[in-house]
Structure 1
Amino acid sequence: MNKLDIYKNQDYILNDAFDQAVVNIHIQKEQNGYKTYTVCGCEPGDGSTTVAINLAAALANSGWKTVLVDGDMRKKKGYKRLNEGASVGLSEYLTAQAQINDIIYETTTELLYYIPCGEQNENPVRLLCSTQMENVEKMLADNFDFVIYDMPAVTAAMDATAIAVKTDACILVVAMGESSKKGLATAVSTLDEKRANLLGVIVNKVDINEYKRYRRSFDYFKKEKYADHAKAVMKANKKNNRKNA
């Protein structure tokens, strides 16, 4: 089986940013045992797939055996560059058309493996909540140091939430200057209400010059105005939950 080509980022500033994320994820692994992560945008177009790919590659480059799972079965696989050369994927396994070993592909990045989404499916939520999916999740958690699930935007479908509640933690992606506060608030509330473990917010599409100026204000990629807003929403949700208990 040919190895799938993973683009290697050469931008030292971007690499530095993902290195910070890797450090924080490593700390979470050491302190809490976290190894499975859901990466999703709050709105479509936030660039969560780009973040998931770079994050998975950064973990693999750090010596961790990592698998990136494309859990977006709503899009046709032809629209996704990483799926070129992948004949079967997640949807085929979940519909008993392929074996688990058939859908795990090696990549050109050492220690990084990839599971493509497979053919488009009309009802992916049912597949993601199936016993077959539970088998996938257990097998990957048992055989890899880190498992990164690349999921659709939280506000676009229930797919991300269905996986986020089962992974150790969830990372939300927002696009600088594009993601709305309403979209962010809705995404945070949805994840919080379903008791997903929202670990942090990664701000994507940041101007490089701005990143240089404000890099000391970032904590796990969190830009203050986004991070503070997310924290405020979560705090309000917890307060309301206590009242309703």
Structure 2
Amino acid sequence: MTAFQDSTVTDRSIGAILADLRHLSADQVEKIVRHQRDKGVRFGEAAVALGFASNDDVMFALAQQFHYPYAAEDQRKANPELVALNQPFGVQAESFRAIRSQVMMRLFNEGQDRRAIAVVSPDSGDGKTFFAANLAVVLAQLGGRTLLVDADLRHPRQHAVFGVANQAGLSGILSGRAESKVIQQVPGVPSLFVLPVGTTPPNPLELVERPAFGLLMRELLTKFDHVVVDTPAACYGSDSAVIAARCGAALVVARKNQGRVTSLQDLVANLSETPAKVAGVVFNEF
């Protein structure tokens, strides 16, 4: 499946998408068409009025028409943290789109060097993994090839968030073991890919400090439009600062009303001593 489409809108009609989604019979489709004609409404409105579809079904069909990744109803329970994919028209998703706009303006101006974005946080439980996952989703929704790298070699979770295999991944690459097919496409999002950790290593800091990690980041930036990197919380060591330095940019996530100000200040101060550009600090209210 290609990451880009030749046209903005698919040729399939709302009716065809809804019929497939809800397994509508020919008789049901005919009733909807008749109601549509009699009431002068659109097919989706008629289907909802007759109880053959929900408003959510119609939004899903519209998203399919415009190639806008939107998780089907049966996929949302499996990946509840992916709010930008499960409820792309909700308040939380809109917040991620606003952050995406700020990131694009601050890090991707014309003429600037390409950078990966390390998502860092002072403490465990700040919502860093949740944030990195949804930032990757909204970047992918722009249409460009987007890669989410799970570089939290201490407590990896991105494979569970996206429901992808974790037998092989970043740790194998950095330890010099030749592994194939470690980058996996996210089902239903043609332009989003995940590189999981694989086996959790006993020496996480040493692995990211090796030249191989920096070389890998540079190579990935030639193959993807956006690279988002999840990191261990700073309370576990200096991994996040090292990773941010190799990525070239960092976004700091802290949990509102729970995180300690001193921990946040220390993290930002440490990042300022690296080559990484700090794009901003995000306060997680959820």
Match of 2:98 in 1: 20
Structure 1 residue 106 corresponds to structure 2 residue 182 = no
Percent of aligned positions with the same letter in both sequences? Answer: 26
Deviation of the 1:97 alpha carbon: 2.5
Name the CA distance, whole Å, in 2 between partners of 1:78 and 1:18. 18
| 2:257 aligns with one of 177, 180, 192 | 177
Q: 2:129 pairs with 31, 42, 49, which one?
A: 49
The aligned counterpart of 1:230 is none
SS at match of 2:283: strand
- The Cα of 1:126 is off from its aligned counterpart by 1.4
**Displacement, 1:205?**
2.6
The answer to whether residue 271 in structure 2 is matched with residue 167 in structure 1 is no
Matched AA of 1:205: E
| Shift in alpha-carbon separation, 1:19–1:89, aligned structure 2, 3 A | same
Question: In 2, Cα distance between the equivalents of 1:79 and 1:36?
Answer: 19
In structure 2, what is the equivalent of residue 158 of structure 1? 238
Q: Report what 1:130 is aligned to.
A: 210
Out of 77, 86, 98, the residue aligned to residue 9 of structure 1 is 86
Shift of 1:33: 4.3
* 1:107 aligned partner, one-letter code: V
- 1:144: which partner in 2? 224
So what's the TM-score if we normalise by structure 1? 0.75
**Shift in CA distance, 120/77, structure 1 to aligned 2, threshold 3 Å:** farther
SS in 2 for 1:172: strand
Taking the TM superposition and a 5 Å limit, the aligned residue runs for 1:47-86 are: 47-75=127-155, 80-82=160-162, 84-86=164-166
| Offset of residue 82 of structure 1 | 3.7
| Aligned equivalent of 2:268, options 188, 191, 208 | 188
CA spacing shift, 1:79–1:24, aligned 2, 3 Å = closer
Structure 1 residues 54 and 78: CA distance shift in structure 2, 3 A = closer
Unaligned runs of 5+ in 2: 1-77
Q: CA deviation at 1:38?
A: 0.5
Bigger relative contact order (CA 8 A; separation at least 6): 1
Give deviations 1:212-242, integer Å, cap 9, x for gaps: xxxxxxxxxxxxxxxxxxxxxxxxxxxxxxx
- 1:90, distance to aligned residue in structure 2 (A): 0.5
| RMSD of equivalent CA atoms | 2.3
Q: 1:223 aligns to what?
A: none
Q: What residue number does 1:233 align with? A: none
Q: How far 1:146 sits from its partner (Å)?
A: 0.6
Gaps of 5+ in 1: 207-245
Judge conservation of contact 2:164–2:184 (CA < 8 Å) in 1. Answer: no
CA contact (8 A) 1:88 1:103 kept: yes
Bigger drift between 76-85 and 186-195 goes to: 76-85
Q: Secondary structure at the match of 2:168?
A: coil
With normalisation by structure 2, the TM-score equals 0.65
**d(CA) in 1 for partners of 2:259, 2:169:** 30
Query: Could you say which structure has the larger radius of gyration?
Result: 2
- Change in 2 beyond 3 A, CA 1:166/1:9: same
